[in-house]
Amino acid sequence: MKKYLQIHEWKIIEEGFNADNHELSESIFSLGNGRMGQRANFEETYTGKTLQGNYVAGVYYPDKTRVGWWKNGYPEYFAKVLNAAEWAGIEIKLEDEILDLDKCEVSAFSRELNMQQGYLERSFQAKTASGKEVKVKTTRFCSLVDDECGAVRYAITPLNFSGEISLTPFINGDVKNQDSNYDEKFWDETGHGFYKNGSFVEMKTKKTEFVVCTGMQFSLSLDNQAIEFESTQIEREKFTGIQIKTPVKEASTLTLYKYAANLSSLNHPKEELQKLTAETLERVSQKGFEQMLKEQAAAWAEKWQMNDIQIEGDAAAQQAIRFNIFQLEQTYTGKDARLNIGPKGFTGEKYGGSTYWDTEAYCIPFYLATAGQEVARNLLVYRYDQLQKAIENAAKLGFKDGAALYPMVTMNGEECHNEWEITFEEIHRNGAIAYAVFNYINYTGDEAYLASHGLEVLIGIARFWAQRVNWSEVRQQYVMLGVTGPNEYENNINNNWYTNTIAAWCLKYAVEAIEIVKKLNPERLEEILSKIKFSQKEETALFNKIADQLYFPFDEKHQVFMQQDNYLDKEQILVKDLPEGERPINQKWSWDRILRSCYIKQADVLQGIYFFQDKYDLETIRRNFDFYEARTVHESSLSPCVHAILAAKLGDEARAYEFYLRTARLDLDNYNNDTCDGCHITSMAGTWMAVVEGFGGMRVKNGQLNFNPFLPEKWQSFSFHINFRNALLDIKVSAGKVQISNKSNNQIKVFVYGHEQNILAMQQVIVSKP
Amino acid sequence: MKKYLQIHEWKIIEEGFNADNHELSESIFSLGNGRMGQRANFEETYTGKTLQGNYVAGVYYPDKTRVGWWKNGYPEYFAKVLNAAEWAGIEIKLEDEILDLDKCEVSAFSRELNMQQGYLERSFQAKTASGKEVKVKTTRFCSLVDDECGAVRYAITPLNFSGEISLTPFINGDVKNQDSNYDEKFWDETGHGFYKNGSFVEMKTKKTEFVVCTGMQFSLSLDNQAIEFESTQIEREKFTGIQIKTPVKEASTLTLYKYAANLSSLNHPKEELQKLTAETLERVSQKGFEQMLKEQAAAWAEKWQMNDIQIEGDAAAQQAIRFNIFQLEQTYTGKDARLNIGPKGFTGEKYGGSTYWDTEAYCIPFYLATAGQEVARNLLVYRYDQLQKAIENAAKLGFKDGAALYPMVTMNGEECHNEWEITFEEIHRNGAIAYAVFNYINYTGDEAYLASHGLEVLIGIARFWAQRVNWSEVRQQYVMLGVTGPNEYENNINNNWYTNTIAAWCLKYAVEAIEIVKKLNPERLEEILSKIKFSQKEETALFNKIADQLYFPFDEKHQVFMQQDNYLDKEQILVKDLPEGERPINQKWSWDRILRSCYIKQADVLQGIYFFQDKYDLETIRRNFDFYEARTVHESSLSPCVHAILAAKLGDEARAYEFYLRTARLDLDNYNNDTCDGCHITSMAGTWMAVVEGFGGMRVKNGQLNFNPFLPEKWQSFSFHINFRNALLDIKVSAGKVQISNKSNNQIKVFVYGHEQNILAMQQVIVSKP
C-alpha cells in the first residue's frame, strides 16, 4: 500500500520525484491505444531503477518453458507479449553532460496522466552535477486515431546557461523481456535505416517471425519557431538515432516533436513494412503534433461518452473508476478479433501478457455495456478461432472426439501455463468461456451468433465435461475429481461446487443451443453437426444425463453448498480471527499451510452464485454469502467485485461499498504492493461491475434491463452509461431517486426496482426509491 | 528393456562394442568404495556419447533452485553430489593418431565387472583410420583398503606396426554436472602441480568450500620390465597431465600403472591436502598395483562372506542378486555417519545424488543383517546429526516448538526438493525415519541408542505429527489433510491411510521410547526433556490422544483400508484391464489423468501393512493385498519388493517370485529404460529384502529371529548370511528343508516355521519343511 498520487477527477498526478516510486509510476502512467502501448518510461536517459516496456498487440514469442520438474502434458512453450523497440527515447546532452534524472538534483517534478484527453505530461527542473539547470516539459500519447502511432513533444529550456544542447531521438530495438526464461533476446534485426529527419529499425521475432518496423520522424523548433539543423546519424545493430546539436540561449526553449510508428506484419505485408512505416510517419508528421493531440482528445471524448462513470461527492472514487475505465480502453478497443486483454495490458510483462479466463468472466460485461456489440463479439470470436487448438490441447491430455479444453493462458490458442494444478486442473475456465457466449446473447439478443460460431464452441466444451466426469459406484452419481476451482488456495480437489455447477450448466446450455440453432437455421445446424460428427440423439442424451446426475456437495448442517468434498474437515477459523500479522497469507505462509487452511483466495461458490443468481432464492444466497465471505481473504484482485455485487443484492450496502473500495484503487494505492510489475487490467473491469451491477443493480433478464440501485452513503450521486440493444441510456442515481435518460432514437422498456418503465426516444424518467 | 549382458555367477560381462549401450554400461560397470566412485568411462579418449562421472562422497554443491513457479517455502538450493575431477583418464596416441573407440574399428571388445574381487576389466582390439591395430587390456578398481585411492593398469600392444606410442595420464578437473541447473561449473581451482612421475589438481567447491585434491602417480613397463622414460608436463587450469612417448615394437606390450588419490577436506585439514595426497600416492605406488589388487580381492572376499546370497539353479538370478549387493557395498560402507546412500550412488547424478527416505525404508534392513551394527547405526546418527535442520525446515513451513520435518531430499539436512506436492506433503518420510530407529533397536536390541540419540529424533517427529493433524468437527476425530503418500500418483490428498498409520505409530512409539529411556537412564531422560523443553505430562497425553482419535479411512464393502478419502469415487478399472499400450502410464498419460486414475505407483497401504504386519491377521492382509495389488502399476523401483514379501507371507509363492524378478534385474536388463542415468541403488536393497524377508521369511520378533522360508520353483536352493546380535548364521533353503549353520561362538535360538531351534556355537541344524 502506497499513497503518493494526488486526487483529481480526471487526472493522475504525481508531484515531486521519488525514485522509489518510479517503477510503480511507470505502470500507472502507462499509455496505450489497443494496438500498441508502453510503460511511462522517461524519454531521456534514466540510469535508476526502471522497467523499460514497449509492447505491440498480438506480437508474441514462444519462450521455452521453465520448470522445476517436468510433468507429462506440460506445454513446451510459454507465448509472451514482447518487449518491443523503444520509440519514445531521446538522449539529451547539455554540452557534454547527459541529462539523467538519476544523477541530477530534481525539482518541480510533476507527472500527469490526462485521462480525459488521453495523454501523459511531465515537467521538471533538473540541476546537473556541473550545475547546469534546465526546465523540461514533455507530452506524449499513443494515438487512438492513428493507432500505429505515438508522438512526443519534448521542450527543454536552459535556466542558468547558454550553450549547446544535443538531442538524439532514437529507436532502440536492443531490448529484452524482463520475464525471459533463459535470458534470451527474442528479436533479430531485419533492417535499419534513415530518412531525412528520421530513422527506423525493423526486427523479426525468433521462431514466430512477426516483423515489426518501428520508425520515427522529428522536427525541431526554438522558441516556437521551426528551425533547420544539422544532424549526425548514429547506428548500430537494432539501433538508429540522429544527433542534433543546437546552441540555445538561456531561457530559450528548444522543442523536439517526435513522431513514431509501429507497423507489424500482423496488419501489413512483410515486404512493405519499411515503405509503409515511412509513409505513415510522413502522414502524421504532416498532420502535426497539435492536430494529433486535438484528434486524440476528441476520440477520448467519444469514448467517455459511452463509458464514463461519474461520482459526485467522492473525488478519490471518481478518479479511481475513471482510471480503471481508461486503462481498459487503452488495452482493448475491440477492433481486432486476434487480440485479447492481457492481465497487465501494455503496462508490464507479468503473466506473459496473455489471455486468461479473466476476459470472459470479468471484462466482457464491461465491453458489452460500454461499446458496440462487435467489441464483445470479437472477444468471443477470438475463442472460436482457437477452437481447434483447444481440441488439440484436450487431446494432449487424453480427451478425444472433439472435446475442447481452452488453455489457462494463451496467445495463439496453445496452452502456455505449466503448473499441473492450474494447467490441467483449473478447468472451470472452459465454463467461463461458454458462459460468455450466453452472456453476450443474453445481453444483445444476437442468437445468430450461436449458428455462426457459438454452438461449435459450446459443443466442444460440453464434450470435454462429459469426458471429464466419471461415474462413482459408491455415490451412484457422476463426480468430477482432481480439479482446482477459482479458489486457487485449494488444489487437486474433488467435486468443486463451482466447477460442477458450471459444467452441468454448460452441458444443458449446449443442448439448448442446439435447439435454438435448429429453430433459427436448421440447415446450418445440420452442417455444424455433420462437420463435428455430433451424434445428436446419443450425445445430447448423455449431456442431459450427466447434468442431471452430477453430484453437488452440500452441507446439511449449515445449509450451504460445499466448495468441495471434505471442506469441513478443515479447521474453521474465520478470517476475522486470523491475526493481521499473518496476512496476506500468500506472503506469510508456506504453500502447504495455505492449502490446508479453510481460507479462500477468491470467490468460488459465490462466483457460481453470481453467474447463476436467478436460480437461487435470497435466503440461499445470504447463507452462502455469510458462510464464504467469512472465510475469504480476497488475495486475488478478481475477488472483491463479486462479493460487492452479491452484498448489494442482499441489501448490505455498507459491505458492498467496502468491497468496492478494495478493487477501485488497487493500483493507484498499490494495494498488493505489486503494481510496479504492471496494472491489474482485467480486475479493473470488476470495479466497473461493482458499480454498475452492484450499486446500480443492473441485470439483463429475458432480454430486458433491470435496475435496482442504491447510493453509497458517502456519495451524492453516481451515474453511468449503458449501450443496450440500440438504446443508449444515462443512469444517474442520487439520494432517493434514479434518473434514466434515453439518449437514443429508440424507445426502451426497463425495470427499475421491479417496476416497468417505458422510456421513449430521447426521454428522461425519474423513479423514486421505494 | 535391453538384454545384452552375458550371464555369469560372479561377473557382469559385455561382449562386443555397441556405442548405443555405452552410457548404460558406464552405469552398470560403475566402481566405488563408499568414499569415492565413478562411472565406467573409458580411460582413453572417447568422443562418442558418454556421461563422464567421478564422485567424492559427502562433497556437494548447493545449486540454485530451478522452478517454473515459486511457492512459499521452497528451498533456495538443491544440494547435489558433485561431478569431480576425472582421475582414470589416459590419452593414447599411436604416432600422431589419438586412440578413440568412436573413430576406430573395434573388435574382440569385452568389458567385465568382477564382483567377487571388485575390479573392472576391459579388453579390445582397435584399428585406427590409418590402419594401425592395437590390442588393449585395462584393469581398474576403487580400493576398499586404501579408500581414497584407485588404480589403473593399462596395457597396449601394437599388432601390425612398430612405432611411437604416447601415453598421457592426466587429472582433469574441468568438469560439469550434467544436472547443473544453470549450466554453471561448481569448482574453482586452488592449485595444481607435478611430482616426479605424477601430478595433481586441487579444487574448491563454490559456496560450500570443500577442497578436494586429486593426484596421480604412474610407472611404466615394457613387456613386464619397468622402464625409464622422458616426459612432458601439460598443464592448464584444472588440468595436469604428463606425456610420455615410447617407441614400441610390434607385439610388445607397453603397460602403464596409474595410481590415483582423492583427498577431501571432509577428512583432512585443507592446508595439508596437497602434501597428504603426495604421501598417499607415494604409499600406494610403493605397494604396487598387483598387491593392491590382491588386497582388494581379500577385502571383497570378506564382504561376500557376510552378505553373499547364493542361488543354485538360476544363474541369471544369481548374477542379479550379487550385482545388487555389490553395488550397495560399493556405495556405502558405513564407516562415516556424515555419508548416506544416494539413489544413484556413484553411478550417476540424477536426483542430486542425495539422501531420500529410501535409506530408512529399504536400505537399513540390508545393512543391519549383512554388516556390523555400527553401519546401520551410522545411518541413524546421520539423521540425528541433522535434527536441528529438520526443526528449522519445519519452522519454515510454520511448525513450532521443536517439531521436526526431515527433508525429502538432502545432503546436509536442508531440504532440497521443490515440488510442493512432494516437498511439503510427502511427509510420511518422517515416519520412515522414526521406523528405522525402531527397526534398528528391534534387530540389535541396542536400546541405549534411544537414550543417546533416538529419543530426541522421535520426539521431534512426534511433535510434527501432533501439529500436522487437525481436529475435524464433522468427524469428531483428528484428520491429516493435504498429504502425498508413498503412492506419488496421488497428490494433496486427505487422510492417506499409510501416513496416518505411521503418524499414529510414531506418536505411540515416542511415548514408549520415553518410558524405555526412563528405565534405562532416568538422568539422561531428564537431560533430554529439559533440553528440548518437553512437557512430559501434557505432550505425552496429547500424543496418546491424537494417536487414539486419529481417523483411518476404511471401506466397509470391501473390508479394506482405504488409501485415502474418496478413493472409491474413482473409476475402478484394474491394472489387468489396462491395455498394454497405455503402460507405463507415467510415459503414456498426462499427469492429471494419472492423478485421476485409481492406479498406484508403489506400495502404499501395503507398505504400511508390511511395516506393521504383526498388527494384522492374514485375512486382513490378503484382502488388502488382493485389492491393492490389482491397482498397482509398480512404476517405482521401490514397489515390487514389498509386494513380493507380502505375497510370500500369504503363501503365494508364484507371485512372490514374479515380483522378485521385477526388481532383481532392473538395471542389468534396463527394465525402465533409464539405467543410463545411473543404477537404482536404493531399490537394490529391496531385492535383498525380497529374498531374505520374502523367500527366507525372515522376521525379528521379540528379539528373536524367525524364518519361514520357501524355495522358488525354478531354484535348486538359495542361501544367505545373517549377522544377528553376535551370531553369524548361514541359512540355506533347499527342496523341503532349511539348513542353518551358526558360524559364531555364541549359541542362538531361532524359530523356523514357528518352531524353536536352539543352535549352539558352530553348530548346524536342518529343519524339514512341515
Catalytic residues of B: 488
pLDDT tens column, A667-713: 999 988 889 999 999 999 999 999 999 999 999 999 999 999 999 99
Q: Which of A488, A539, A635, A693 is catalytic?
A: A488
What pLDDT shows up at residue A303? Answer: 95
Question: Which residues have a Cβ under 8 Å from the Cβ of B297 and sit 6 or more positions away?
Answer: B116, B117, B118
Decide if A569 and B492 are in contact by the 8 Å CB cutoff.
Answer: no
Is residue A442 within a helix (H) or strand (E), and if so which, with residue range?
helix A428-444
At B179, the pLDDT band (50, 70, 90 cuts) reads confident
Rounded to whole angstroms, the Cα distance separating A462 from A502 reads 10
Q: Mean pLDDT score of chain A, rounded to an integer?
A: 96
Asked if B1 contacts B670 with a C-beta cutoff of 8 angstroms, the reply is yes
Q: Does position B385 have pLDDT exceeding 80, yes or no?
A: yes
Q: Quick one: average pLDDT of A469-478?
A: 98
3-state SS, residue A726: coil
Looking at beta carbons, which residues of chain A come within 8 Å of B482? 592, 595-596
What pLDDT shows up at residue B178? Answer: 85
pLDDT tens column, A333-391: 999 999 999 999 999 998 887 899 999 999 999 999 999 999 999 999 999 999 999 99
Decide if B572 and A494 are in contact by the 8 Å CB cutoff.
Answer: no
Q: Does position A180 have pLDDT exceeding 90, yes or no?
A: no
Binding-site members of A for substrate are 357-358, 601-602
Count other C-beta atoms under 10 Å from residue A753's C-beta. 15
Which residue in the set A470, A587, A590 is minimally distant from B571, CB to CB?
A470
Query: Is the link from the previous residue into A640 a cis peptide, with omega within 30 of 0?
Result: no
Looking at beta carbons, which residues of chain B come within 8 Å of A68? 65-68, 418-419
What pLDDT shows up at residue A181? Answer: 85
Asked if A130 contacts A137 with a C-beta cutoff of 8 angstroms, the reply is no
Q: Quick one: average pLDDT of B105-110?
A: 98
Q: Does position A413 have pLDDT exceeding 90, yes or no?
A: yes
CA B446-B451-B457 angle, to 5 degrees, is: 100
For A25, phi and psi rounded to 5 degrees? Answer: -65, -35
Looking at beta carbons, which residues of chain B come within 8 Å of A565? 565-566
What pLDDT shows up at residue A178? Answer: 85
- Top residue of A72, A473, A491, A574 to mutate, by most chain B CBs within 10 Å, is A72
Does the structure's ipTM exceed the value 0.90?
Answer: yes
Which residue in the set B68, B424, B591 is minimally distant from A68, CB to CB?
B68
What pLDDT shows up at residue B353? Answer: 76
Rounded to whole angstroms, the Cα distance separating B240 from B86 reads 11
Asked if B739 contacts B764 with a C-beta cutoff of 8 angstroms, the reply is yes
What pLDDT shows up at residue B25? Answer: 98
Which residue in the set A397, A473, A591 is minimally distant from B71, CB to CB?
A591
3-class SS string, B383-444:
HHHCHHHHHHHHHHCCCCCCCCCCCCCECCCCCCCCCHHHHCCCCHHHHHHHHHHHHHHHHH
What pLDDT shows up at residue A68? Answer: 87
pLDDT tens column, B463-476: 999 999 999 999 99
pLDDT tens column, B239-258: 999 999 999 999 999 999 99
At B180, the pLDDT band (50, 70, 90 cuts) reads confident
Which residue in the set A481, A571, A589 is minimally distant from B596, CB to CB?
A481
pLDDT tens column, A419-440: 999 999 999 999 999 999 999 9
| pTM for this predicted structure | 0.95
Q: Does position B337 have pLDDT exceeding 90, yes or no?
A: yes
What distance in Å separates residue B460's CA from the closest CA in chain A?
19
For B285, phi and psi rounded to 5 degrees? Answer: -75, -30
Burial class (CB in 10 A: 0-12, 13-18, 19+), B253: middle
**Cα A691 off chain centre by:** 18
Decide if B565 and A566 are in contact by the 8 Å CB cutoff.
Answer: yes
- Closest-CA residue in chain B for A568? B474
What pLDDT shows up at residue B352? Answer: 80
pLDDT tens column, B563-590: 999 999 999 999 999 999 999 999 999 9
Asked if A159 contacts A151 with a C-beta cutoff of 8 angstroms, the reply is no
Question: Which residues have a Cβ under 8 Å from the Cβ of A195 and sit 6 or more positions away?
Answer: A215, A217, A278, A281
What pLDDT shows up at residue A2? Answer: 80
3-state SS, residue A610: helix
- Top residue of A590, A593, A635, A674 to mutate, by most chain B CBs within 10 Å, is A590
What distance in Å separates residue A398's CA from the closest CA in chain B?
7
What pLDDT shows up at residue A298? Answer: 98
pLDDT tens column, A398-409: 999 999 999 999
What distance in Å separates residue B583's CA from the closest CA in chain A?
14
Q: Quick one: average pLDDT of A70-78?
A: 92
> Residues A344, A345, A347, A352: is their CA dihedral positive or negative?
positive
* A66 against B40, higher pLDDT: B40
Decide if B398 and A589 are in contact by the 8 Å CB cutoff.
Answer: yes
CA B165-B170-B171 angle, to 5 degrees, is: 170
Looking at beta carbons, which residues of chain A come within 8 Å of B65? 68
Question: Which residues have a Cβ under 8 Å from the Cβ of A759 and sit 6 or more positions away?
Answer: A729, A740, A742, A747, A748, A749, A750, A765
- Which ranges of B4-57 does DSSP label H, i.e. alpha helix? 22-28
Q: What are B756's strand-pairing partners?
A: B751
- Top residue of B418, B492, B496, B560 to mutate, by most chain A CBs within 10 Å, is B492
Q: Quick one: average pLDDT of B51-62?
A: 94
pLDDT tens column, B611-621: 999 999 999 99
pLDDT tens column, B414-458: 999 999 999 999 999 999 999 999 999 999 999 999 999 999 999
Q: Mean pLDDT score of chain B, rounded to an integer?
A: 96
CA A295-A298-A303 angle, to 5 degrees, is: 130
Asked if B437 contacts B359 with a C-beta cutoff of 8 angstroms, the reply is no
Rounded to whole angstroms, the Cα distance separating A133 from A145 reads 37
pLDDT tens column, A113-136: 999 999 999 999 999 999 999 999
Decide if B67 and A68 are in contact by the 8 Å CB cutoff.
Answer: yes
Tell me the percentage of chain A whose pLDDT exceeds 70.
100
Binding-site members of A are 357-358, 601-602
Tell me the domains of chain A and their CATH numbers: 35-65+75-297 (2.70.98.40)
Q: Quick one: average pLDDT of B482-498?
A: 98
Decide if A72 and B565 are in contact by the 8 Å CB cutoff.
Answer: no
What pLDDT shows up at residue B673? Answer: 85
Q: Does position A662 have pLDDT exceeding 90, yes or no?
A: no
Rounded to whole angstroms, the Cα distance separating B550 from B476 reads 9
- Closest-CA residue in chain B for A75? B590
What distance in Å separates residue B398's CA from the closest CA in chain A?
7
Looking at beta carbons, which residues of chain B come within 8 Å of A430? none
pLDDT tens column, B726-736: 899 999 999 99
What pLDDT shows up at residue B350? Answer: 86
B358 is in an annotated binding site: yes
- Closest-CA residue in chain A for B181? A68
CA A98-A103-A105 angle, to 5 degrees, is: 110
E strand spans, B577-702: 699-701
Decide if A475 and B73 are in contact by the 8 Å CB cutoff.
Answer: no
Looking at beta carbons, which residues of chain A come within 8 Å of B595? 420, 482, 492
For B487, phi and psi rounded to 5 degrees? Answer: -75, 95
For B310, phi and psi rounded to 5 degrees? Answer: -105, 135
Which residue in the set B398, B492, B566 is minimally distant from A593, CB to CB?
B398
Looking at beta carbons, which residues of chain B come within 8 Å of A591? 71-73, 420, 424
Which residue in the set B424, B475, B590 is minimally distant from A424, CB to CB?
B590
What pLDDT shows up at residue B182? Answer: 83
